Structure 1
């Protein structure tokens, strides 16, 4: 069970890019409410070179203890790789932690509950160019295998991407909700063989 979620925030309390100065607040769910239990100041000194960046990141990860869920507005490059190799589940959200902590908890626990046998038959995505992926949901939507669209797409949507093209027979309701709440930009194209969704991350300005 997910007990703690680490969120990187700026001075205004909203999520910040991990390359910006800020602090990591570790939230713990206690009696149905999320409470901050510890705080770690974090500001990368890129001018000192990659060894120093790795040292700073390693110190921050050590301070997180057993927490293995990390949220920031954006995480990319070496920072994403280091977090991934350390076993973190990485999420990118814009806004106040109170707006997404419960959602992340539900999604993380949903993933943990999935049988390993289902994961073996998840359709593979194809990376057409750096950060751009294509995947088809039509087979699982028509087969009744028990595999869900969320199991296929969630790992991609939680990762570091620019664009995901999804071919499907119908738009999954949960994905419509994600786009409607502004987490992603989604464009719909009608094809002879179904629907193509083009999903991009919202750009925060």
Structure 2
């Protein structure tokens, strides 16, 4: 089995905002061995296409590995790894080498649970088409490091209105779950789904719109008070898309 992760200079699972590299480990007769180190660096000024190109270049060197360990399982990078490259992503912190056995056991249990679903049913709340269940259909094996956790629950998704139009009540979602923020909810969808327009109902337009929408090749087509008189209705469209208002 092969497991990839982004680690810092200390060998700890790191966030992509830190200095580090992608490391690929393989389990052999002598235990887990690092078989590849892949330079990988992204920064806030990169466009979405540049970020995807960097991920694609790294993935091409992972020898078919489909398990990736991250320190954060929400956000653009996780969405790209899952939706475009088919990785099963796991969240962890601390020394990676000490946790590979546990990641492997969890991943195998998750695969077995997925395979058994047509026979035994599926008790996990994560939809079947999401790779992000992260072993939620089973319990932690004994001795697993406390830093290892299941992958985060699926993010709230916009409602499809048909013809490539979507709507999401961001204000309601954030009011119901204080662990989320607007960027976590919107960016993965905007980066992975081709849409004609996305209507966002919010208390106020997120501050990060001004610096991030351009990277995603999106623009604000309109901004006006919400129909209920509370908050704002923001309509986002691709930069070169003609606006078609939903009925």
- What is the TM-score when the length of structure 1 is the normalising length? 0.59
Q: Quick one: distance in 1 between partners of 2:113 and 2:135?
A: 17
8 Å Cα contact 1:13-1:96 kept in structure 2: yes
8 Å Cα contact 1:29-1:35 kept in structure 2: yes
Label 1:75 to 1:124 Cα distance change in 2 as closer, same or farther (>3 A): closer
- Counterpart for residue 65 of structure 2: 67
8 Å Cα contact 2:106-2:140 kept in structure 1: no
1:1-150 to 2 correspondences below 5 Å: 3-85=1-83, 86-114=85-113, 116-118=115-117, 121-123=121-123, 125=125
Label 1:45 to 1:177 Cα distance change in 2 as closer, same or farther (>3 A): same
Q: Quick one: distance in 1 between partners of 2:14 and 2:33?
A: 19
Label 1:78 to 1:29 Cα distance change in 2 as closer, same or farther (>3 A): same
8 Å Cα contact 1:92-1:158 kept in structure 2: no
- What is the TM-score when the length of structure 2 is the normalising length? 0.50
TM-superposed deviation, 1:108: 1.7
TM-superposed deviation, 1:52: 1.0
Label 1:50 to 1:174 Cα distance change in 2 as closer, same or farther (>3 A): closer
* Secondary structure of 1:63's aligned partner: coil
Label 1:115 to 1:93 Cα distance change in 2 as closer, same or farther (>3 A): closer
Label 1:61 to 1:183 Cα distance change in 2 as closer, same or farther (>3 A): closer
Label 1:122 to 1:25 Cα distance change in 2 as closer, same or farther (>3 A): same
Compute the RMSD of aligned alpha carbons: 3.2
Q: Quick one: distance in 2 between partners of 1:126 and 1:104?
A: 19
Aligned length in residues: 144
- Counterpart for residue 146 of structure 2: 181
Q: Quick one: distance in 2 between partners of 1:113 and 1:157?
A: 12
Higher share in strand? 1
Higher share in helix? 1
Label 1:99 to 1:118 Cα distance change in 2 as closer, same or farther (>3 A): same
